[in-house]
Amino acid sequence: MEGITPYRHQWALHDALTSREPGIFVNDAPTGGGKTLSWLAPVISAGLSTVAIYPTNALIEDQQRNISELLSDVDGGDDCQLLAVTSETLQNEYAEQFPDASSNGERLSSLLRQAFSGRKPVVLLTNPDIFVLLRREMYHERIGQIKQFEVAVVDEFHRATRKERNTILFLLDEMYDTDESICRLNHLVFLSATSDVRLERQFEEAMVAPYYRVDDVGWRTDPHPAITEETPSTISFGPGELPAAYRAVLPPVDLVIEPAPTFGTAAEVLDNVEVVLERLATGRTVIMLDGVHEIDRVYDLLHGSDLTRVERIDGFHREDVREKIDTFDTLVSNSAVEVGVDFDADQIVFSGHDAASFFQRLGRLRTRPDRSDAFAYAPPYLFHDLEPLSDSLDGQWVDRSEFEKRVKSAYVDSSTPASFDWRYSAVEAYDHVEERVEGAPADDQLAIRKAGWYRIESHFFNEDKGGLSENDLQRIYEVADSALLNTLKTYRGESVQTLVYDQRSQSVQTYNLPYLLRHSDVSFYTRDTFLTHLPDGLVDKVSRLEPYSSGYCIYRGEYDGQSAGGDADQTAGRLFTYKATGELYSLLSDCSRDIRTPKVCTGLEVEVTPSVRGVDVLKDELSTDQILCYPVEGHVSQIQNQYSLGSFGFIYPLLYSEGDAAVAFGHDALYLHCRVQDRIQAESNTFDEVLDF
């Protein structure tokens, strides 16, 4: 691309792809360093058809716009076919393009068949949900064109959960390992803002393809003449001098860390509002918080101050995003701008509830020749752990990679349990293999099954587990025949979501039910009544979203009423809890914790104080829904501490006649079950006793 001087990691990926070197290439350059489009020029100039997988539809839209603008500057860009596929594009523009197709699967099949009928390379931008449906042939018809892509790019891979990572890696490994005459995939590119020891092991030991870190250039015996070393990025806790010959991907950062609990950053900002306003007056600033209710409080304060151009972007305020990004002086947001939104800022104020979010948000400072300022609100224990480092540096700079190691080691590990791999991901993979066996010619079935079992062993049964045994296969077979399997087949897990019409922005979406009941001014309606409140143009979107939601809700903004105790308390909001009834009650009362397993249940109820208009209508909707549940005795905070779940281990209070209890849903239910069983295993010091479900 003319007029652009690439960074070292961009040159390296260009070299690997244009030389058609097969393998796994991991680019974990810092956020803001140009990873997202580092693959574009090489795949187009080399004529490689590519499927690029993004975690959110918003990011797909953003990248479609960016790539479209860049294609004319890339050699071969005029011959590239760029496609963006989401459920929305399949329902809208592709429905118009293929009017005879009656389903999303038929439209996608027609689209890809048409694209690959020519000789131009195809670049498909899509989300992991659709990729999994394609690869597992879960549409009503087979769409074989997925096997014609030569490159797969997975962006923001560090944001995926353990289950999601396992799913993507297993399917891509299988495609790469398939004979090239059947599946052409030869290059796997993973873009990730943070390195991960477990992922290193999976790439090196589980995957068939040779593994290379892009910054190591390990596929070359001789150095590429265009690839040069960079001066490391640096962090300062004080007014030190800039390092000489600075040429890093990220700017040097003056970092101030202050203590705040998760979901408590807004309170700290409001308690020190004069200091915060003074900081905001010094330059273009992005404030990144955790909860929408935090954004409400901080935005309302700043919007009423003397500051100019205060904007907000979150799940309920995604309108006019590009205009807000281009014109803000102060932007208040949350994870909505962690990915998919390019912005330039002089400084950033952010909360970091874990290591991944800390560096993802810190890295949103864009490349600039001068130093930048960052103000981080981190858990109090991390703040105290880093105090000696700050004192010892006395204003001098510290290498960013060394600082990252120190911070990651200090954070409490609330990662998902390793036993999830062999308890559940192996079950998911086994079912996938058996589906492939059933659809294969008789002469190929044995080979497919053996290869699949070997892959399951490589990915999910490490040396500590002792490999894949006959007992494991029998257990997997029994679980794979259960209702639980449906929660594993698709990419994302279930959660209790409600269909929401936002009256202010006149938009429809699904949103987390507990948040709405605690922090929002909402009313619930029957479907027919709900539709009467909507503009005609949104009715089709309701039809697309309602299979993934429970109930119909109108949202009018934040809840500013009285708390249950009579005081105005926007932080606490209403009191909310689920209630153990029917199958969920039986699961809790009839099965002891050591043998209790997650189960698909009906009869879920909610209780909220003060009450919400239409909550009885919501209860009727919930009572017939099925969702994977795992209840545990004890108070929420007690369970979070006992099993190291952290503040983002989503479990909810559960009314239970026998005492305190809590419940987790979907994949969170499976993770919690693994932690409970791991604890039982550790306490009994046995292994075989905890293999049953």
Q: What is the pLDDT of residues 423-440, one digit of tens each?
A: 999 999 999 999 999 989
Q: Once rounded to an integer, what is the mean pLDDT over residues 452-479? A: 78
pTM: 0.86
Please say if the pLDDT value at position 246 is more than 50.
no
What 8-state DSSP symbol labels residue 311?
Answer: E
Is 406:392 a contact under the CB 8 Å cutoff? no
Please say if the pLDDT value at position 569 is more than 60.
no
Strand, coil or helix: 320: coil
Q: pLDDT at position 562, please?
A: 47
Closest CA to 366 of 240, 254, 251: 251
All residues at 6 or more sequence positions from 600 whose CB lies less than 8 Å from its CB, including other chains: 483, 484, 486, 487, 626, 627, 628, 629
Count of beta carbons in the 10 Å neighbourhood of residue 646: 18
Q: Once rounded to an integer, what is the mean pLDDT over residues 84-106? A: 91
- Distance between CA 112 and CA 366 in Å, rounded? 36
Locate tokens 């708390």: which residue?
563
Is 430:469 a contact under the CB 8 Å cutoff? no
Query: Residue 608 phi/psi, 5° resolution?
Result: -140, 135
pLDDT-wise least confident of 23-27, 465-469, 587-591, 609-613 = 465-469
Is 489:431 a contact under the CB 8 Å cutoff? yes
Percent of the chain predicted with pLDDT > 90: 42
What 8-state DSSP symbol labels residue 29?
Answer: P
CA 408 to chain centroid, in Å, comes to 19
End-to-end, the C-alpha distance of the chain in Å comes to 55
Please say if the pLDDT value at position 630 is more than 90.
yes
Structure token digits, residue 300: 């309302």
Residues 270-314 pLDDT 10s: 888 888 888 888 888 999 998 888 898 899 889 888 888 999 998
Q: Specify which residues 554 forms β-bridges with.
A: 501, 523
- Distance between CA 209 and CA 175 in Å, rounded? 11
Please say if the pLDDT value at position 652 is more than 90.
yes
Q: pLDDT at position 244, please?
A: 39
Q: Once rounded to an integer, what is the mean pLDDT over residues 565-574? A: 54
- Distance between CA 542 and CA 632 in Å, rounded? 34
Locate tokens 């029957």: which residue?
526
The amino acid present at 65, given as its one-letter code, is: R
Structure token digits, residue 600: 């698909």
The pLDDT-based confidence of 563 (bands split at 50, 70, 90) is very low
The pLDDT-based confidence of 227 (bands split at 50, 70, 90) is low
- Distance between CA 364 and CA 343 in Å, rounded? 8
Structure token digits, residue 389: 């480092």
Q: Are strands 552-558 and 575-579 parallel, antiparallel or unpaired?
A: unpaired
What 8-state DSSP symbol labels residue 417?
Answer: P
Q: How far is CA 534 from CA 45, 318, 519, 539, 689, in A?
A: 47, 19, 23, 7, 55
Average per-residue pLDDT for the chain: 84
The pLDDT-based confidence of 106 (bands split at 50, 70, 90) is very high
Q: pLDDT at position 238, please?
A: 44
Q: pLDDT at position 470, please?
A: 67
Radius of gyration of the chain (CA): 26
All residues at 6 or more sequence positions from 656 whose CB lies less than 8 Å from its CB, including other chains: 580, 585, 588, 631, 633
Is 402:235 a contact under the CB 8 Å cutoff? no
H helices, E strands: number in the chain: 28, 25
Locate tokens 């779940």: which residue?
645
Residues 323-358 pLDDT 10s: 898 899 999 998 878 776 778 888 899 998 888 788
Closest CA to 174 of 220, 137, 129, 213: 137
All residues at 6 or more sequence positions from 9 whose CB lies less than 8 Å from its CB, including other chains: 27, 29, 33, 34, 35, 38, 214, 215, 249
| Omega of the bond leading into 610 within 30 degrees of 0 (cis) | yes
All residues at 6 or more sequence positions from 7 whose CB lies less than 8 Å from its CB, including other chains: 29, 33, 34, 230, 249
Domains of the chain, each with CATH number or no CATH: 8-216 (3.40.50.300), 234-410 (3.40.50.300), 420-489 (no CATH), 497-690 (no CATH)
Kind and range of the H or E run holding 407: helix 400-410
Kind and range of the H or E run holding 91: helix 87-91
